[in-house]
Amino acid sequence: MRLVLIGMNHKTAPLEIRERLQLSSGDDAHSLSELMRLPEIREALCLATCNRVEVLARVEDGGQAVEQLREFIYRQGNLEREELERCLYVYQDREAVRHLFRVAASLDSMIMGEPQILGQLKAAYRQAVDNRATAVLLNRLLHHAFRVAKRVRTETGIAGNAVSVSYAAVELAKKIFGNLKGKSILLIGAGEMSELAARHLIRQGVGSIRIANRTYARAEEMAVMFQGVPVPFERFPEVLPEVDIVIASTGAPGYVVTAEMVAAALKRRRNRLFFLIDIAVPRDIDPAAGEIENVYLYNIDHLQDVVDANKEMRRIEAMKAEGIVAEEVEIYEEWFNALAVVPTIVSLREKMEAIMQGELERSSSWLRNLEGEERSRIEIMTAAIVNKILHDPITVLKEESKDRDELPYVAAVRRLFKI
Amino acid sequence: MIAVVLFKTALTVYLISAVVYGASLLGRRVMLARIATGLMLAALAIHTFSFAARWLAAEEGPVVGLVEASSLFAWVMAAAYLAFQLKTKTRVLGAFISPVICLFMVIASVRLGGTVAAPAILRGSLVTLHVILSVAGEALFAVASCAGLMYLFQDDQLRRKKGGGFSRLLPSLGDLDRINYLCLLWGFPLLTLGVLAGSLWARIVWGSHWQWDPKQIWTLLAWGSYGFLLYQRLVTGWRGRTAARWSIAAFVILLVLTVAGRPFFQTWHDFL
């Protein structure tokens, strides 16, 4: 019984190749059933995302399973053998487990710590379960992988901080306002990045949104999209006091929002905290506005600095996460190895009990002459003898499983007791 | 006796909670802060029982001396903080609050031994009221200044545009400012009533409402600063950094009065 993981990811394969595999494996159910038809595959799971295509399988020992899996991938990709060969990685047993855990914990992702991969893995697992492609081993392994992902998420800061500029803006808004419910935004200029930031903010519960754009039609268009209110561009200073967050991204050559405007607005809003985000180049908001108390001004470079600092932190946290993965691989392996001795222990016990029952049967004629209580005492005693005899061998077998790989005692016990 | 045991248990649990809070801040672990909050809640419950036990045991109604006042101070701080904690996710604020709580618990425990027979003039419901109200008000101010301190800290981090992991743990500016405001809003009337109760009592004992005692003058100064701050907050819309700084300064005045003032002034008020 072996575990094999074969596949490719964004590091090993260029987009064109991943694309072609992705396209053909679009119908997961189909590829799963094709996999399960391979002679030496016992359990299987297909994971296909935009950054990776992987097949995890439990296969028969010593056969051609790995080769069969390779063939399967070549067929799926409909590509030249050599071309694919360079992109593929194959992990077995311990390494396969480690790789799966790393993938689940988002350590192997393009953006380390991104949360989608876990959802994708869960979906892939569900698909496999629905197609009856999994059994004890993969079930246990996948649940363990989900647990590892959760542990990494709670015990390290790997997914903690924003690593995109638009999301960094959301995180800052939370640090300033706490709860974003009921807060309002003003977009000055309706670019792509401000749209993205606005989307994030709305998802966090920001209440209302106003859009001022030089081309009024575009402002109206976006207002429909966000259920917001369009504001004529020259009148945006009037709504400044009513909003909490301003995102400026116009193509204007000079400052569109002056420090005086901000100061006046702040006075009208009785010093309520004011968060200004300037993602325009050249800048839209006079940097002097950021010096005013209760005003927090971030420009594109500041946001990028935040992102860089966060990326650095994720890198440090990732090292902790690797430690957790290593620990969990150990735990899984212990279970896995114990699995190898369990059937032997069970048959050993069954055999001994059969002998005991048989002997009790044979003596049943004279046992019948005894009192009920005495008879049951004899039964208890024989059971105790069997248990005492079995105790040490079973302990040794269990111990042996922890030292992994070779299991000489299992073989010895099987020969000695003919089981 | 039970009261003493309960009190000491509460003190120990507060101390552990403070240590765990500190660890959560240094280790940047939210999980630890969660545990610390639980510990503080337990400590508060035990502390409450210790009050109940003490006051049940006292024959002639509650006696309010230094022990009770310090202990009450800690109790109000813990209760107020935990109430805010329920409303907002300000767990890390506990790392600033819990050492102060521990400090007052330790002060209380030093004198814990025997109930000092309070001088005759310090018995009566007006005195009790005076102490309870003033102490509760001051404890709320202590919470306000802790929130203010943390506000300045977070504000500084945000202004320096450092996205480091440290400020991730800190509560948001909005929450800290609200805590600062609410503590002020509740603390001020409590202190005012406390001072009034005291002055009524002074009238009965010493014949006049006001003795121009140094302690009274300092208190008046602190009371005035808090009043000014509350006025500015309500009327001119002070917020954020200025309000935080002011509340810290006012608390320093209070602190000077209670801690440093003792050895230097000749005061009528020196029983507390």
* Cβ-contact B119, B63 below 8 angstroms: no
Q: Is B175 on the interface with A (CB under 8 A)?
A: yes
**Domain chopping of chain A, boundaries:** 2-155, 165-306, 336-416
pTM score: 0.73
Crossing angle (nearest 10°) for helices A136-155 and A93-104: 50
Between B49 and A23, whose confidence is greater? B49
| pLDDT score of A27 | 60
Q: Which residues of B touch A172 (CB under 8 A)?
A: 158
**Domain chopping of chain B, boundaries:** 2-200
CA-CA distance, A370 to B259, in Å (whole number)?
89
**Position A294 pLDDT exceeds 70:** yes
Instruction: Give A5's Cβ-side CA count (13 Å radius).
Output: 22
**Nearest-CB residue to B237 (from A271, A290, A310):** A271
For residue B116, the 8-state DSSP code is P
CATH number, domain A165-306? 3.40.50.720
What's the fold here for domain A2-155? Answer: Beta Polymerase; domain 2 (3.30.460)
**Position A131 pLDDT exceeds 60:** yes
For residues A68-88, average pLDDT: 81
Active-site amino acid positions of A: 50
Q: Given the DSSP bridges, would you call strands A184-188 and A208-213 parallel, antiparallel or unpaired?
A: parallel
pLDDT band for position A19 (cuts 50, 70, 90)? confident
Contact assignment for B167 to A175 by CB distance below 8 Å: yes
User: By CB neighbour count within 10 A (0-12 exposed, 13-18 middle, 19+ buried), where does B22 fall?
Assistant: middle
Cβ atoms < 10 Å from Cβ of A233:
17
- DSSP letters, B200-240, are HHHHHHHSSS----HHHHHHHHHHHHHHHHHHIIIII---H
| pLDDT score of B266 | 47
**Nearest-CB residue to A273 (from B163, B171, B173):** B173
Domain A2-155 shares a fold with domain A165-306: no
CA-CA distance, B222 to B31, in Å (whole number)?
38
For residues A1-26, average pLDDT: 79
CA-CA distance, A40 to A97, in Å (whole number)?
19
* Cβ-contact B179, B41 below 8 angstroms: no
CA-CA distance, B245 to A299, in Å (whole number)?
27
* Cβ-contact B94, B20 below 8 angstroms: no
Residue of B nearest to A268 (CA): B237
Alpha-helix runs per DSSP H in A259-299: 259-268
Strands across the sheet with A52-59, in order? A41-48, A52-59, A2-9, A89-92
Residue of B nearest to A178 (CA): B172
pLDDT band for position B63 (cuts 50, 70, 90)? low
| pLDDT score of A204 | 86
* Cβ-contact B141, B81 below 8 angstroms: no
| pLDDT score of B111 | 67
CA-CA distance, A228 to A239, in Å (whole number)?
13
Mean predicted lDDT score pLDDT of chain B: 82
